[in-house]
Amino acid sequence: MLIPLLSLLALAQATPPASSPAPLPSDVAAQDWRPIPDDELLVMTLTGNRIVVIRLAARFAPQHVANVRTLAKAGWWDASSVYRVQENWVAQWGDATEKKKLAPGVVETPAAEYEIGAFTVAQRLSKPDSHSTASGFSADGWPIATDGKAAWLTHCYGMVGVARGPAPDTGSGSELFTPIGQSARRLDRNYTVVGRIIEGMKYLSALPRSDAAMGVYATEAERSGIVSIRLASDMPATERPKFEYRSTDNARFAAYIKLRENPAPPTIGSGGVELCEVPLATRSVPAK
C-alpha cells in the first residue's frame, strides 16, 4: 500500500536532511559528465538479478586491475559468493574455499600498489583529517589523501580493496572487499584499492551480518551467490551498461564542496568535510 502523499510530506518534516546521493541537475554542467571506459566497469551479478557495478581504478593499481580483468575474462568468479559480512567493517567476496586455482595469466603476488604516484587532485578539501595532512579528489573523481610524502586512494565506504595475507603479500585480486561501515580508513596504505562501487552498493551493505569469527559466514547457506563477474567490455552490446562520472575539475564541483563545508544557515557547518562523506556522482546512460 502506498503511503499517501500527505503523509510523505509530513515525514519529510521530521527527517534528517537528504543525503544528496545525486547532485541536482542544475549543479552539474553537461560537460562535467565524462564516460567511464567499458573495460573499467566490472559488473557483478548476484543471484536474484541484483547488479553491482564497480568502477576500476585502472591507472592507480594497474597490476591488480590487470589480474581482475583476467579473472573476469576467465569467468573465474562464476558461482562464487559473498562469504563474509562483518558489522561496521567489510563485505567480502570471491572463492570462499580460497583453494580454487587462479586463472592462467593471473600474477599470484603482484607488487604492492598500496600507494599511488603523487597527490594530484583537482579539488583539495579545506581541512586536513585525522589520517592525512591533505585530501581531495582527482579530476576523474577518486578520493586521494597524502601525508606530504606519500599519496594513496582511501578506504571510504564503497571503495573496493584487495584482501590479502600478511604483508608483503598483496593478494591477487581474486578476493575483494568493500567497507560497509565507518571504520576502514586504517586500511589506507596497507591494502590495494582497485575500485569503487558505483551502483548496487545497497545489495552488499544490507546483507545479513555474521557473528562468526571475522564475520565469515559459518554456513554455506548464508552466502550470497555470485552468478558472474564480467567486464562491461566483454558483454554483448545490448546488455552492456554505460556509465559516466562527474568530473571534479570545474567550478560546479568546487562550489559543491564549498557548500558541504559551509552549509547555508540555519544549518551549522564546521568549515570542513571529511573526504569519505562527499558523494561522488556517477550516472547510468543509455547505450549508443
By CB under 8 A, the count of residues binding a copy of itself is: 92
Cβ 236 to a copy of itself shortest distance, Å: 27
Taking the CB of residue 8, how many other CB atoms lie within 10 A of it?
A: 10
Q: Which of 55, 69, 164, 246 binds a copy of itself (CB under 8 A)?
A: 164
Residue 201 near a copy of itself by CB under 8 A: yes
Interface segment toward a copy of itself; rule CB under 8 A; list 25-33, 54-62, 215-223, 227-235 = 215-223
Rounded distance, CA 217 to CA 236, Å? 34
Torsional sign, CA 211, 215, 219, 224: positive
70-89 residues near a copy of itself, rule: CB under 8 A: 83-84, 86-89
Q: Which residue has the cell 583537482?
A: 122
Residue 93 near a copy of itself by CB under 8 A: no
123-142 residues near a copy of itself, rule: CB under 8 A: 125, 127-132
Rounded distance, CA 44 to CA 190, Å? 25
Q: Which of 38, 147, 244, 249 binds a copy of itself (CB under 8 A)?
A: 147
Residue 68 near a copy of itself by CB under 8 A: no
> Under the phi-then-psi rule, with left for phi > 0, alpha for psi from -120 to 50, and beta for the rest, what region is 25?
alpha
Residue 97 near a copy of itself by CB under 8 A: yes
Q: β-pairing, 90-94 with 123-124? A: unpaired
Rounded distance, CA 92 to CA 161, Å? 9
Residue 214 near a copy of itself by CB under 8 A: yes
Cβ 30 to a copy of itself shortest distance, Å: 25
171-190 residues near a copy of itself, rule: CB under 8 A: 171, 175, 177, 179-190
Name which of 87 and 239 has its Cβ closer to a copy of itself.
87
**DSSP string of 247-274?**
--SSHHHHHHHHHHHSPPTTS---S---
* 38 contacts 230 by C-beta, under 8 angstroms: no
Residue 221 near a copy of itself by CB under 8 A: yes
Any idea what DSSP says for residue 236? -
Torsional sign, CA 163, 75, 56, 23: negative
Residue 255 near a copy of itself by CB under 8 A: no
Cβ 21 to a copy of itself shortest distance, Å: 7
13-52 residues near a copy of itself, rule: CB under 8 A: 13-19, 21
Residue 109 near a copy of itself by CB under 8 A: no
Q: Which three cell numbers stand for residue 214?
A: 571475522
Residue 225 near a copy of itself by CB under 8 A: no
